[in-house]
Structure 1
Amino acid sequence: MNYMDEHILSLKNKLNHDAASNNVNTNLSQADVPGQDNSVAEQNRVLRMGDELIPLEWKTILDGQVAVSIPKLFSLMPLEQAKFKYPSEHRPQVIYTSLEGTVNITFNSTESALEVDELPEFVEQMADVLRSVQPVRNWIGTEMIMNPYGLSIGMIRFVAAGVDTNLYNEMLLFVHEGQVTMGTFNCMESDMEAWLPVAENTVQSLHIVPSPSDSTFEKGVAFL
């Protein structure tokens, strides 16, 4: 078994517990985060969804090390609700959910060491794992991008069977401090087209928060 295979198997064990779920949470930091580039920050304050304008706000997550722009009406899922939806102790660390609880944005740091140039191969191996553990109804594919903040992100998109309905899933994989961080966006397949702008905004706004000596970012208050 090679070095990367060991990390894939470690993540596979976690994914096996989450196969039919679509939510999460534990601890997290959050705050309004000014962007390194004010013009980019301004673009992430409002998002158009059809005829609606959706207010957005910056959040810092994973001990204040990563920032992302999400809909302002999304909130952290209460821990008890997260435990119900994700009974396994392998549940992700952070979840933001819509008012109805049907659209979710989650993040989870891992202990899988990886170099940035190894990410494309890792994404393809993760895609193989997902096809083996998820009840996939429609495999959309994988993609590597570099977002406006210079963050390399691997994306895996597919539709899987949920408890009551099919779910659209978008997994995001990136490297921070030499380790893999995973994000997910999911919603009901029937709502997929309406919510894709939010998924795209998540990908485009993700970035590593510079240290205080490098920027004006402020670490948020921890939610326990």
Structure 2
Amino acid sequence: MSEVRLAAEPRTEFGKGAARRTRRAGKIPAVLYGHGSDPKHLALPALEFARVVREHGQNAVLTLDIDSAGSELALTKTVTTHPIKNYIEHVDLLLVKRGEKVTVDVPVVLTGEAAPGTLVTQEADSVQVEADALNIPEQFEVSVAGVQAGAQIHASDLSLPSGVTLVTPADHLLVVVAAAPTAAQMESTIDVEGAGVVEQASESGEAAAQG
């Protein structure tokens, strides 16, 4: 993962009202913490930071130019997004040093198509690894191309780059490939569920009549 340089401004106002004013000015409220130092309250340029997350993922490493205070190396730790309007509300940044190992969650992305007549279920969408702060994988690709029913893929099956160590348990289940239900099985399931609904309604009617 490449290092990205980004301008940042110190924040002197706090609270919900101050955060709203920061966002209206086209910036994102952020907090930089770590290594026992006092938290630094910052404002990041919204468009530039959104581009960094889009192009480099949420584990992006930033070189923050903080006005006259110099620069700091930081890992994007938490990105809070508005649940409805989908804009970035707040960012937590972790202060890191070159050569330092960090523990992060890395997305798992499936590629390819399994064998015909199968159903692929992704049981986990990320795994936790330890890596150099400047060499965090953006994602792990897992190919299910041609995989037959009955196959399982675990964390231990991932191909890890040099210097990256798996923190998630090796037997953690990532993907299950099962036989897809037949049309007859689907119809049978619908019939059983429908019968259950009718029976439940009938019982409710009887109870109402008795009452």
> What TM-score range do you get, normalising by the shorter chain?
under 0.3
> Could you tell me the TM-score, scaled by structure 1's length?
0.25
Task: State which structure, 1 or 2, has the greater radius of gyration over its C-alpha atoms.
Answer: 2
> Could you tell me the TM-score, scaled by structure 2's length?
0.26
